[in-house]
Structure 1
Amino acid sequence: MKVPYALPYIGEEEIQEVVSALRSNWLSKGPKTLEFEKAFSSLVDSAHAIGLSSCTAGLHIAQVVSGVGPGDEVITTPYTFVATVNTILHCGAKPVFADIDPVTLNIDPEQVERMITPKTKAIIPVHFAGYPCDMRPLLALADKYKLTVIEDAAHAVYTQYHGKPVGSISELTCFSFYATKNLSTGEGGMVTTNNPELADKLKAYSLHGMSKDAWNRYSDKGSWFYEVRYPGFKYNMTDLQAALGLRQLERLAHMQQIRMTYAHAYLDAFSQLEELVLPVDSPEHRHAWHLFFIRIRQGALTITRDEFIDLLKEEGIGTSVHFIPVPLHPYYQQAGYRIEDYPVAKEAYEGVISLPLYPGMTVEQVNYVIDAVVGIVKKYRR
């Protein structure tokens, strides 16, 4: 049996909606983007949602409208995809890493406070795998030190923190709709905010700093005149992306139920394996289950993490590793960052494996993955 690591979950509804967008002759940002933004803001209980070309674009302009610039420091986690950190550099600021919590693998608020200096401008917590960061102490720190919190919610569509949807908690939250995300537009992203002034700036910065987008210039009710108010970027979402997102949004609850069912099947099956550390799942929060990862306890098996991955590959099972900590990448090593300064992130990386988890999987595939993992652990346990 073959079990790919991840596949998009696209049905006839999405195909027909994209065809409808094509036939409308409006391909860039237009009515479907506006409809998708409205629907997504309702999902996450946020006053404003700005559709973008990617979550990376969102992280960049969220920092720009927050005033992050040269001489500033932005604190984030070393245990994230590099886009989170690259965008800090794009603003001319300095990334500062705070180590992670050993249980959730999310940024540790106590470590964050230790890293705050007079140069600190913002904190970017990352909701790893779909489980929420502990936002209350982070927001308290932001209030105490007059900082901006920008949530990286690339994994966190559908996540809730103490009953509040991620997207309504901080001043700015950035989502990803990449091909394998819980809700996909192929490529795409969204920034949510309850601040109308920031929303206006985000809209302008996402489209060259212009006062009007194409829909407001070229539609029947539009006007040709516009002004450039900021030195903006070309980061807008298109109606083709939004069309896909609209139908995905309608099916999101169904897709999430499948993810949760499969994640709990993994949890139940692996809970008796002392050699593995499993993801945390708390009734206080709603886990989006973007990823399901296992961690091999140090010294528990006679094989390495990489050998474990190779054995799964021989069984036809795709896997991934989330994440290679940012300080391990050559550019950041040359910039002076050392993984030894973040021992929790280092240990997590050395044992972590992400298993297949997506709505298009069958129950038979899930059971096949379970049998393979259990068999490998039992064969190679010390």
Structure 2
Amino acid sequence: MFPERFSNLPAYAFPRLRALLDHHAPGGDIVHMTIGEPKHAFPAWVTDVIADNAAGFNKYPPNDGCPELLTAISGWINRRYGVAVPETQIMALNGTREGLYNAAMALIPEEKNGQQPVVLMPNPFYQVYAVATVSVNAEPVFVNAVAENGFMPDYTTLAPEVLERVAVAYICSPANPQGAVATRQYWRDLIALAEQYDFRIFADECYSEIYRNEAPSGALEVAREVGADPERVVIFHSLSKRSNLPGLRSGFVAGGPECIRRIRQLRAYSGAPLPLPLQLAAAKVWDDEAHVEENRRLYQEKFAIADEVFADVPGYQSPEAGFFLWLPVDDGEAAAMKAWTETGIRVLPGAYLSRDTEAGNPGKGYIRVALVAPKTEVRDALITLRDCIYG
């Protein structure tokens, strides 16, 4: 029987969107701007690396990551954040969603200070945070990430009796969907809070390489700067957005030696490691920055287009990073329906990414728009969307 604790989970966003729109005819040629699936080209040589190492499909892959991949990831962390992380404190992931879920399974205790543990998460949030929390019988606490707090959840405002039960706090920076970035001071404050109340930070940094001007600070680098407990921060990264390779399913988790030991132990029993030829391809991709710079340039062009198109829209905020627009509307569902039935453009109501709280649903007055299509298509669609919703 399906466990009762899963009954209160919010419905997944895309089935909800299909239920909302699919029984209505589109008002024009269909343009998908809902899913954050990169459309830019991945490095052409990736398939050559896979083909050259195809004999590796005849072997069971290393559970934790082959030496070449772990070395490449360690090198990338050092180049990107200036932090030397040994390969023993890294584990390759079959996509970061696996890691974000299994880290909760491996690291959240049954009790915290004799009570049910709490897991903090931003609202809006990535659904796996909530599913992982419920899976370990912890209590999810949703903290609204709204314009007033820079679209980053302020966990310092929570009551001490809540903070004393916190086992883990999830943070997504750059944030999906708002594109906000945690500043160095934000990380310092959160790490200090975690040190004070003895909880871990799960830093979901999958969008870290898609930014406008300045590379976002990382949780692990700030933790090292302030001398935090090495077990305090666990980071998660992926090639999906950085390198336009969502189908490669290559990511990693890195953290303190005890955290990674426990995550690796769980993987040994229940994980699905990446096939060896794909691991070797991923190693080459982590070692290359030229394609990442080109990818970032293409997104920067599309952000410039968005800023031009929506310059006169009240409440529009240009995102700092990521590849989504978080557009203000009166009602997200109504706006999505209007865009679909009048233009054929498919966007996602913000409420489908967030949870109702006492302070309201922070996504209700927004739609999320993915800028993953080619530049010309994005420009045409954004102009059409502006005229439809704000005209």
Fold-level match, TM-score > 0.5?
yes
**Higher share in helix:** 2
Residue 352 and residue 168 in structure 1: after superposition, are their counterparts in 2 closer, same or farther (change >3 A)?
A: same
Alignment of 1:12 with 2:44, yes or no, is: yes
Alignment check: 8 A CA contact 1:74 1:93 kept: yes
Match of 1:184 in 2: 245
Of residues 314, 317, 333, the one that matches 1:278 is 317
Higher mean C-alpha deviation, range 96-105 or range 253-262: 96-105
State the one-letter code of the partner of 2:370: P
Alignment check: 8 A CA contact 1:185 1:244 kept: no
Alignment of 1:370 with 2:382, yes or no, is: yes
State the one-letter code of the partner of 1:199: I
Deviation at 1:79, TM superposition (A): 1.2
Alignment check: 8 A CA contact 1:80 1:326 kept: yes
Query: Which 5+ residue runs of structure 2 have no aligned equivalent?
Result: 1-28, 224-232
Q: How is 1:94-173 mapped onto 2 (pairs within 5 angstroms)?
A: 94-103=139-148, 104-112=150-158, 116-127=162-173, 128-129=175-176, 130-133=179-182, 134-157=186-209, 164-170=217-223, 171-173=233-235
Distance in 1 separating the partners of 2:371 and 2:43: 18
SS at match of 2:364: helix
Match of 2:134 in 1: 89
Match of 2:276 in 1: 239
Query: Which 5+ residue runs of structure 1 have no aligned equivalent?
Result: 209-232, 282-286, 328-338
Distance in 2 separating the partners of 1:291 and 1:307: 19
Distance in 1 separating the partners of 2:38 and 2:245: 11
Distance in 2 separating the partners of 1:244 and 1:161: 28
Alignment of 1:357 with 2:371, yes or no, is: yes
SS at match of 2:109: coil
Cα RMSD of the aligned pairs, angstroms, is 3.3
Deviation at 1:237, TM superposition (A): 3.3
Distance in 2 separating the partners of 1:162 and 1:181: 13
Distance in 2 separating the partners of 1:144 and 1:31: 37
Deviation at 1:176, TM superposition (A): 4.2
Q: Deviations over 1:314-336 (max 9, x none)?
A: 2xx44334562454xxxxxxxxx
Alignment check: 8 A CA contact 1:182 1:256 kept: no
State the one-letter code of the partner of 1:341: E
Match of 2:96 in 1: 55
Residue 40 and residue 4 in structure 1: after superposition, are their counterparts in 2 closer, same or farther (change >3 A)?
A: farther
Alignment of 1:203 with 2:260, yes or no, is: no
Residue 363 and residue 306 in structure 1: after superposition, are their counterparts in 2 closer, same or farther (change >3 A)?
A: closer
Distance in 2 separating the partners of 1:309 and 1:272: 19
Distance in 2 separating the partners of 1:351 and 1:62: 32
SS at match of 2:164: coil
Distance in 1 separating the partners of 2:198 and 2:166: 9
How many residues align? The count is 325
SS at match of 1:84: helix
Deviation at 1:7, TM superposition (A): 4.2
Alignment check: 8 A CA contact 1:176 1:188 kept: yes
Match of 1:34 in 2: 70
Distance in 2 separating the partners of 1:31 and 1:323: 43
Alignment check: 8 A CA contact 2:117 2:165 kept: yes
Q: Deviations over 1:228-280 (max 9, x none)?
A: xxxxx314333344345345442222211211221122123212222x53244
Distance in 1 separating the partners of 2:353 and 2:389: 25
Alignment check: 8 A CA contact 1:62 1:202 kept: yes
Alignment check: 8 A CA contact 2:120 2:143 kept: yes
Q: Deviations over 1:294-342 (max 9, x none)?
A: 122x38x9x932234315752xx44334562454xxxxxxxxxxx1424
State the one-letter code of the partner of 1:91: V
Deviation at 1:157, TM superposition (A): 4.5
SS at match of 1:149: strand
Alignment check: 8 A CA contact 2:339 2:389 kept: no
Distance in 1 separating the partners of 2:280 and 2:350: 29
Alignment check: 8 A CA contact 1:184 1:248 kept: no
Residue 113 and residue 280 in structure 1: after superposition, are their counterparts in 2 closer, same or farther (change >3 A)?
A: farther
Give TM-score, length-normalised by structure 2. 0.70
Deviation at 1:84, TM superposition (A): 0.8
Alignment check: 8 A CA contact 2:145 2:152 kept: yes
Deviation at 1:97, TM superposition (A): 1.8
Deviation at 1:20, TM superposition (A): 2.4
Match of 1:264 in 2: 304
State the one-letter code of the partner of 1:42: N
Deviation at 1:83, TM superposition (A): 0.5
Distance in 2 separating the partners of 1:270 and 1:155: 23
Alignment check: 8 A CA contact 2:38 2:246 kept: no
State the one-letter code of the partner of 2:352: I
Deviation at 1:42, TM superposition (A): 3.4
